[in-house]
Structure 1
Amino acid sequence: MNKLFTHAALQGRSVSELRALFASVQQELVRSEAGSQDRSTALRNLETISLTLARKHAGPRL
């Protein structure tokens, strides 16, 4: 995986889409080599997806 996801790019996706994307990126992480750029990107993407999911579960800010 070479594409780095941003919060802005993910916020329009549904929770189920984000969960599916998270699972897909987890598989990419498993297949990546330790210390590789692909592994670093996968880890960053998992963090970004997780934060986006957390914001969706938190609801709107007042």
Structure 2
Amino acid sequence: MKLVTRFEAATLSTPELYGLRKEAFKAFAAAPRGSQEQRKALETMRTIEDELATRAPGL
């Protein structure tokens, strides 16, 4: 999974972020425990959650 930056997350729509969060979760679950791939997926999920938290509800 590609690491998503805060800037990249800000350019995506809310539905796109939810879809990407789902993909990141699947990548996290499928990656070997403690691997770089798992860490990237976790960081991507955190970035997406941070971006979603800055948006007003319903947008």
TM score, norm. by length of structure 1: 0.84
Task: Determine whether 1:19 maps to 2:18.
Answer: yes
Report the equivalent of 1:51. 50
Gapped runs of 5+ residues in structure 2? none
Deviations 1:24-60 (A, max 9, x none): 11000110010100001011000000001111137xx
Runs of 4+ in 1 over 6 A off after TM superposition: none
Identity %: 30
Gapped runs of 5+ residues in structure 1? none
Larger radius of gyration: 1
TM score, norm. by length of structure 2: 0.88
Alignment: residue pair count: 57
